[in-house]
Structure 1
Amino acid sequence: MPTLRRGRPALRTRIAADRAEAALVEQYTALVRLAYLTLPAALSRHRRVLMAHAAAQRALPGARPTRVPGPRAAGDGPGGAEDALRVRVLRAALAGAHRPSGWPAALPPPRALLPRLPMVWGLRLFPRAGGAEEIALGQALAGASAPARAAFVLRRVDGFSAGRAAALLGAAGVRDPEDVVRDAAGLDAGAGPAAEALLRSQEFDACSVQTRPTDLIRRTRRRRLAWALGALAVITAGVLTVPGGGSGEHPAVRASATAAGGLDAARLSHAAPDEWADTSRVDFTVWPARGSRTGDEALLARALDSWAAPSDAVAVTTTPGTPQDAPPRTPQLLFAGDVDGQGVVLLTDGDRLARYADPVGGGRASLDLARVDDADVTTAAAVVLSRGSGTARYLFAPWVTEATRRDLLRPDTPARPLHVSEDGVTDAVPVAPPGGCARRPVLQLRSSARIVEHHAFLVVDLGGLSPVHLTYTPLPGHGTPPPRQPREATSSQALLAWARTACGLEPWRGGAVRAVNAWDFAEQQLPEGGGRAVWSCARASTWRGPGDVALLLRAPASSATAPARVVGRAESTAACSRFGQHVVASSRWRSPKGHWYLVAAGSRAVTRISVSGAVDTARPGRTLAVRAPERGTVRVTARLDNGERLPEVGS
């Protein structure tokens, strides 16, 4: 009979094993999909596939009863066994996503480290890759919390009402499930009507997977090493029993040191010189091998060995979210040559870049790894080959036909030409030093007409292997047709906007950022003759999926390059992306007459802004300006044209 637990009605019931098993078989694909999308994207796709199947297969009820939600709302589909299975799958997936306090961020959650059936040896499993829309949806889901992802799937795929989804999440142990479902509405609104079809596509179907072998070379090397260590143990035991046998080095000892040899430099793959101009995939995989030492097998072997099994003699650095394991397949050679007194080798395995640098005169070698999956004509346009004191030297993609450099803080100064060698290597060019904002050098590149016409774009060095692509989205009604799409930041309007935004790039230095878009989402006439202000959202999208945003207010200033005021920040959010197209922000502002105001503005779908706390008011429209004390807590929310409530970003 119905009982009450934490104020919510629930039904505790034992479900017959045969009925539960029949429901599991019938709903297996949907349950696996729910688990797969709830698990964190930081896990490899192979591990997520196995954990999703494990969660579904362990969902059959045991001796203990399963608490499932009470009576269903009309139109929510069948219940009973199916609900119990969903609750158990959600519990397992949420437990796999839970990271205890103090647990290292670089490690998967502890539940993800536990071996459980099914287990696969010698193969890697992963769903088939989807198109650009599936990739964008996956990135948006990666930026949401695990409960929000589960709520999104329950609403858009399983078709449950908000109340029903909250009831299932509550039964699975989620705190404040109603708030979680409301938070998931941001994903729901941004994904659009195609979300259900996308979620049912092969990109998110963990029951329709591809298989690839694990690293065969590494497995062979480990097997040889195991045999060598076994032989060494036998020989050592024999030597210890022979008088005087403890001196000298046995040949087996030397054999064990070479049993884990590196990948074969002779098997490195190479792209054809003009492959980039005759393919729809324009990224690092179509770079030809360049440089004066592409035939130096000794240098290439050292680079491969350092990537496969780096020793203590090699300094290894990785960008956040980049796996450090050996390449799963034979890498592709992009460059090998001498650069600033170092032998530099650039490799890719299709998902990562590896830059190996070996000082010519001796010294410690270095290996840098960075994710570059889903790169394109702009984000695969350049790679940093070497860094000096305040300078960097780049290798350009073969499709870059024109290269200039400019300073974002001098938008009226024309770009200056940049010398590039026949191999695509640039002269040393200035880069922005860490800290401060006296200058912000960027590269302005142009792609070959063989792949795209009249395409110029900006990239900026933020300390990673590949520079960051800069884009701009102008104000609504200023030449931006809906839906909004970022544009290249090369127009005078974009350069003027970036001149006041450039200093806000510094917090994202070294953060594995692939692109930053500056979106001017609202303009406002400030009171008491304060002039016209522009509200902007700068979104840094990372290679691993999640994005961080900074909300800025560009009030009138004496200089065209005065840094805009940062009024809010949020991390790992879908805000200001195609899956978070609605935003509201606020700030205290002092008028020319010395009066303090609370000013706020929202994106184009905002119809009303409300304020509570130190100020309590509400105004229709997309902007608000009201007299307010200089200090005091306020809470700003907006109402959208569809009736939904929108909290302030970063609140």
Structure 2
Amino acid sequence: MLNVSSNVKSPAPSQDLSGVVDVEQAEAALVEHYPRLVRLAYLVLPPSLGRNRRVLTAHALTQRALPRSRRSGDAEVIPVQRSGEGRGSDPGYAYVRLRVVGTALDAGLPLRRKAWPKRSQLPPLLPQVWGLRLFPRSGGADELALDQRLSALTGPARAAYVLRGLERLPDGDVHKLLAAAGVDEPAAALAEADGVHAAYDLLKSPEFDPCSLQARPTDLMRRRQHMKAAGVALAAALVCGALLGLPGDGWGPDGAAAPAYAKNPAGQAALDPGQLTKVAAGAWKRSARADFSVWPARGALTGDEALLRRALAVWARPGESVQVSATPGTAAGAPPGPAQLLFAGEVDAARVVLLYDGLRIVRYAEPKDGTSGAALDFARVDGATSAEAGALVVNRVDGNVRYLTAPWVEGAAVRDLLKPEGSADALKRDGDGVTQPLASPAQARACTSWNALQLRDDAGASRLSTDLGELVPAHLTAGRPQAPREASAADWSSAACSLAAASSNGVRSVNSWQYARQTLPEANGTAAWLCTRADTWRGDGGRALAQFRATGAAAVAAKAEDSAACGAREPSVLAGVRWKSRGGNWYLLGGGSKDVVSVRASGGSQTPGNTVAAPLKRGARAGLTGRLADGTKVSTLR
């Protein structure tokens, strides 16, 4: 349950905003209010940076908030502003706060090819902690819900909300501060921030405190592999440097292809459209494999050598005007050799080419009326099976998406996961297997529906997948993580909206699992405990969400990132929520997987079974621990 407080709005003050403050005054304010300033930077920074980088960047931006000049007697003209609740009219604090907000907003700006990045847009050099991941302590469902709502705001709107709630500034002062920080439309930012319910007290939660941190190691095995790879790469660079220093013809930047390809036979072959692999139409029927390697070359432009040559050249060396994107963990480098052609044709207002190099799907798209505004997208697909190789995104336009389906797909339909009782709507496909457009849930602003692609293969089996903003739709499964099965719409009707948290993360599959049911106190009915886990193509970065569902109540109870929780390796799960009955009484509810044989609430006795409902007094500490049959302790998901 969210603790909701009233929105803070008042007329803009008539305080004079001009004045002078010296460096020593600003430094004193920074030292005194450092934890608050770091929290402010952390909340304004875009959540897409990840919790570890947000923590380090928040500290770096705050520590760089002072002017560079440190000579005695120097002073700097600084616009004095209202300091906010609890800090009177301290101009030093107002100045440092303005610097923190401004650089945090700059950090959320996209990088541009024709402009040097600002210092705040780059990963911080200091502070750095090698071998550790640092992130704030996890809060409850309320904090998670607020974090999700803030992540949907633009940077200026997020800053406006935080300045209102954390600093208790009236809208007039927020408007002036945002304008001073370089925001073009402060009024629009304030209006957008109005869409978030004012749960301002949650901003002081440990969830958003980058000064109270948890430490976890990075992937130790991957780190060792990277160190070995770095050593090999350094040795190779030294050898290549020596060879390039020899007399003779050098590699010149002649042509659209990367210079390194000019004298490299494999690189020359990779840029030759005549060397592209084109699989025959019926090869998949005779193959023991069912993945992208047996997809035939389809589309009306598979013989357009000029288009294919442009696609390969841009892949090897994209120009400044090309929009390049890659899913996390996907290399965006040039082709190692001749690739396989999957599709080349006109879709909507674009010419599209889909290529496969054994590890990645590459999509090249250009307008029909020219090559300006071309796009190049990469997605990792190594180890794909027929479950993940059923479809590829061929185009997106106006919030809709079109798929190119696998050759073994005999039927395609779209199903709304939020309406499991409804029937699936058939999707028309052209002769090449390209579907008609359907609304993409990844581009929707509100979760009023969630479309899933339903494919039926030549053996009659049906599978569900959904668009999460990437080239390859995520495969949806259900059931115990040790033995997941193909999902139905009913399996995902309660958890579909949680898929938004996994978007644009290189997701391969998402599993939904109802791991417990619980009878609620005071005859309030029953509740279900769900765990959804998203696994990525790169193997790490898995995300798990534990959800509580009851009549008239739904909440994300806990979440875990970069964790094996709720998966085949760690199937045991335990989560808890604070819950208020219809009679107005508060309880600590807990639900564990079936292998949890007892649960203990803070200050209470051990309760047999995998669920618990303990009365909760106001201000009492809430915590849960569980035990397995062999005595192993189980902590709540985090």
TM-score category of the 2 structures, normalised to the smaller one: 0.5 to 0.7
Query: How far off its partner does 1:339 sit?
Result: 1.0
For the pair 1:448 / 2:436, whether they are aligned, the reply is no
Q: How does 1:178-577 map to 2 (within 5 A)?
A: 228-229=249-250, 259=262, 263-362=271-370, 363-432=372-441, 433-449=443-459, 454-473=460-479, 484-490=482-488, 495-546=489-540, 547-557=542-552, 564-577=554-567
1:323-367 deviation per Cα after TM superposition (whole angstroms, max 9, x unaligned): 111222321110011111211100011111000001111221110
1:169 is matched with which residue? none
Counterpart Cα distance in 2 of 1:390 and 1:225:
54
Query: How far off its partner does 1:304 sit?
Result: 1.0
Q: How does 1:125-164 map to 2 (within 5 A)?
A: none
1:475-526 deviation per Cα after TM superposition (whole angstroms, max 9, x unaligned): xxxxxxxx84112112xxxx33412211111111111111111011111111
Q: Contact 2:257 / 2:316 at 8 angstroms: preserved in 1?
A: no
Counterpart Cα distance in 2 of 1:586 and 1:512:
29
Where do 5+ consecutive residues of structure 2 fail to align?
1-120, 132-214
Q: 1:322 to 1:630 in 2, by over 3 A?
A: farther
Q: 1:312 to 1:554 in 2, by over 3 A?
A: same
Amino acid of the structure 1 residue aligned with 2:598: R
Which stretch shows the higher mean deviation, 625-634 or 531-540? 625-634
Q: 1:333 to 1:223 in 2, by over 3 A?
A: farther
Q: Contact 2:595 / 2:628 at 8 angstroms: preserved in 1?
A: yes
Counterpart Cα distance in 2 of 1:531 and 1:415:
31
Q: 1:286 to 1:304 in 2, by over 3 A?
A: same
The DSSP-based 3-state class of the residue aligned with 1:401 is strand
Which stretch shows the higher mean deviation, 633-642 or 382-391? 633-642
Q: 1:630 to 1:551 in 2, by over 3 A?
A: farther
Counterpart Cα distance in 1 of 2:307 and 2:246:
24
Query: How far off its partner does 1:271 sit?
Result: 2.0
Q: Contact 1:228 / 1:252 at 8 angstroms: preserved in 2?
A: no
Q: 1:223 to 1:440 in 2, by over 3 A?
A: farther
The DSSP-based 3-state class of the residue aligned with 1:528 is helix
Counterpart Cα distance in 1 of 2:573 and 2:255:
67
1:621 is matched with which residue? 609
1:587-617 deviation per Cα after TM superposition (whole angstroms, max 9, x unaligned): 11111211110010111111111222xx443
Q: 1:630 to 1:412 in 2, by over 3 A?
A: farther
Counterpart Cα distance in 2 of 1:352 and 1:226:
37
Counterpart Cα distance in 1 of 2:244 and 2:364:
27
Q: Contact 1:283 / 1:375 at 8 angstroms: preserved in 2?
A: yes
Alignment size in residue pairs: 412
For the pair 1:585 / 2:575, whether they are aligned, the reply is yes
Q: 1:508 to 1:435 in 2, by over 3 A?
A: farther
Counterpart Cα distance in 2 of 1:253 and 1:510:
30
Q: 1:556 to 1:497 in 2, by over 3 A?
A: farther
Q: 1:620 to 1:520 in 2, by over 3 A?
A: same
Q: 1:385 to 1:588 in 2, by over 3 A?
A: same
Counterpart Cα distance in 2 of 1:292 and 1:310:
25
- TM score, norm. by length of structure 2: 0.59
The DSSP-based 3-state class of the residue aligned with 1:580 is coil
Q: 1:227 to 1:357 in 2, by over 3 A?
A: farther
Where do 5+ consecutive residues of structure 1 fail to align?
1-101, 113-178, 188-198, 233-250, 475-482
Q: How does 1:586-601 map to 2 (within 5 A)?
A: 586-601=576-591
Counterpart Cα distance in 1 of 2:624 and 2:494:
25
Counterpart Cα distance in 1 of 2:250 and 2:313:
20
1:384-420 deviation per Cα after TM superposition (whole angstroms, max 9, x unaligned): 1111111111100001111111111111111111100
Sequence identity percentage = 42
Q: 1:254 to 1:511 in 2, by over 3 A?
A: closer
Amino acid of the structure 2 residue aligned with 1:568: A
Query: How far off its partner does 1:314 sit?
Result: 1.6
Amino acid of the structure 1 residue aligned with 2:385: D
Counterpart Cα distance in 2 of 1:307 and 1:229:
23
Q: Contact 1:434 / 1:506 at 8 angstroms: preserved in 2?
A: no
Q: 1:439 to 1:630 in 2, by over 3 A?
A: farther
1:173 is matched with which residue? none
Counterpart Cα distance in 1 of 2:522 and 2:617:
16
Q: Contact 1:265 / 1:304 at 8 angstroms: preserved in 2?
A: yes
Query: How far off its partner does 1:255 sit?
Result: 13
Q: How does 1:600-619 map to 2 (within 5 A)?
A: 600-612=590-602, 615-619=603-607
* 2:628 pairs with one of 616, 640, 644: 640
Query: How far off its partner does 1:634 sit?
Result: 2.3
The DSSP-based 3-state class of the residue aligned with 1:298 is helix
The DSSP-based 3-state class of the residue aligned with 2:522 is coil
Q: How does 1:33-182 map to 2 (within 5 A)?
A: 104=123
Counterpart Cα distance in 1 of 2:244 and 2:346:
36
Amino acid of the structure 2 residue aligned with 1:447: D
Which stretch shows the higher mean deviation, 277-286 or 410-419? 277-286
Q: Contact 2:440 / 2:451 at 8 angstroms: preserved in 1?
A: yes
Q: 1:330 to 1:593 in 2, by over 3 A?
A: same
Counterpart Cα distance in 1 of 2:618 and 2:463:
42
Q: Contact 2:601 / 2:614 at 8 angstroms: preserved in 1?
A: no
- TM score, norm. by length of structure 1: 0.58
Counterpart Cα distance in 2 of 1:423 and 1:462:
24
Query: How far off its partner does 1:231 sit?
Result: 8.4
Query: How far off its partner does 1:460 sit?
Result: 0.8
The DSSP-based 3-state class of the residue aligned with 1:457 is strand
Amino acid of the structure 1 residue aligned with 2:414: R
Counterpart Cα distance in 1 of 2:461 and 2:566:
24
Counterpart Cα distance in 2 of 1:467 and 1:631:
45
